[in-house]
A = this chain, B = another copy of it.
Amino acid sequence: MLLAARPVGLPRPTDWKLLEVPVGEPDEGEFLVQVRYLSLDPAMRGWMNEGRSYIRPVEIGEVMRAGAVGRVISSRHPGFAVGDHVSGAFGVQEYCVSDGRDVTIVDPALAPLPVYLGTLGMTGITAYFGLLDVGRPQPGQTVVVSAAAGAVGSVVGQIAKLLGCRVIGIAGGEHKCRLVVDEFGFDAAIDYRSEDVQKALRQHAPDGVDVYFDNVGGDILDAVLTRLARGARIVICGAISQYNNTEPVKGPSNYMSLLVNRASMTGMVVFDYADRYSEAVAKLAEWLAAGQLRSMEDVFPGGVSAFPETLLRLFRGENRGKLVLQVADE
């Protein structure tokens, strides 16, 4: 699936082009992967835009970038054997020739393959370092997470609970809020569609918010800013509410609360932790194995051709946990 045009607002079908080409042959030092599952992420919307960001944009006519898991079906690489299951940025396509760079071998006996795109993949690692390294919550402190039923948010909240924090999730709709409390074990959930977030925070976080892990930006960020505790840390992980804006981004009007509360707002990009990924994955896998962490994947069928429509589920807030597209049968 190629990016055919730079979207304005929500990506439309005409922004994509499906191309059928012969499957590539691996050269010496390469191997061929059959892609099984694709990771669908809000950040993809940013990669479709032109201009300087934390990663280069996907070019027009280029295969859309995507994290994926698959199986090696032929190999001329000493480190990867036929039958190995692998995780890497294989893109929105059915087959990918890889030289093994930034590719990890994963074990489907330890966890189902889609988990390697979520809790044991980039979103889980993002949650781990974003919370622990940037948010730095202390036991007993109050942690608030937006997009709390999503792939990153659900893991952030569960780690915060494991640390002994009071954890409040913000999510859209009654069903997701129930999920956040009942499945992910948060102390409370706020439904931003039906509740006044600022008022609800006053109730659920009476002593203020020590750590806010933000995936959404916009009005919710502004509401949380009004309820910061002294010395609060805001982790800027994403701003899904703003990604499809055709108007300028809404900046946080209440940012002077950072001064009043001696608080900080810090951006994080998971790639900076590349040399510590294994540390996060080991810990996350340990928690998963011990039943202390619940991983949720929302797997949709349909293959590569269903990618454009499935991606939109993220921006409509329809996914629960990690949104995954199945490309081939296991």
Using a CB–CB cutoff of 8 Å, the interface residues on chain A facing chain B are 52-54, 217, 222, 236-239, 242, 248-269, 272
Check A217/B248 contact, CB under 8 A, given A263-B266, A264-B265, A267-B262. Answer: no
Most buried by B among A238, A239, A251: A251
Please give me the residue from chain B that is nearest to A217 by CB atom.
Answer: B256
Most buried by B among A238, A254, A256, A269: A256
Complex interface: chain B residues within 8 A of A259 (CB)? 54, 236-239, 267-269
Evaluate contact between A265 and B265: CB separation under 8 angstroms: yes
Evaluate contact between B251 and A222: CB separation under 8 angstroms: yes
Complex interface: chain B residues within 8 A of A267 (CB)? 256-264
Please give me the residue from chain B that is nearest to A55 by CB atom.
Answer: B260
How far is it, in angstroms, between the C-alpha of A201 and the C-alpha of B268 when the chains are bound?
Answer: 24
Evaluate contact between A253 and B260: CB separation under 8 angstroms: no
Evaluate contact between B250 and A252: CB separation under 8 angstroms: no
Other A-B pairs, 12, CB within 8 Å; known A258-B267, A259-B268: A54-B262, A239-B259, A248-B253, A249-B255, A252-B252, A252-B255, A262-B268, A263-B266, A263-B267, A264-B266, A265-B265, A265-B266
Ranked nearest first, the 8 interchain pairs of A and B with the lowest CB-CB distance are A251-B251, A259-B267, A258-B267, A264-B266, A251-B253, A251-B252, A265-B265, A54-B260
Evaluate contact between A52 and B260: CB separation under 8 angstroms: yes
Q: Which of B52, B252, B272 contacts A262 (CB 8 A)?
A: B272
Complex interface: chain B residues within 8 A of A265 (CB)? 255, 258, 264-266
Complex interface: chain B residues within 8 A of A266 (CB)? 258, 262-265
The minimal Cβ–Cβ distance linking A115 to chain B, given in whole angstroms, is 26
How far is it, in angstroms, between the C-alpha of A226 and the C-alpha of B181 when the chains are bound?
Answer: 39
The minimal Cβ–Cβ distance linking A147 to chain B, given in whole angstroms, is 15
Please give me the residue from chain B that is nearest to A53 by CB atom.
Answer: B260
The minimal Cβ–Cβ distance linking A225 to chain B, given in whole angstroms, is 9
Evaluate contact between A262 and B256: CB separation under 8 angstroms: no
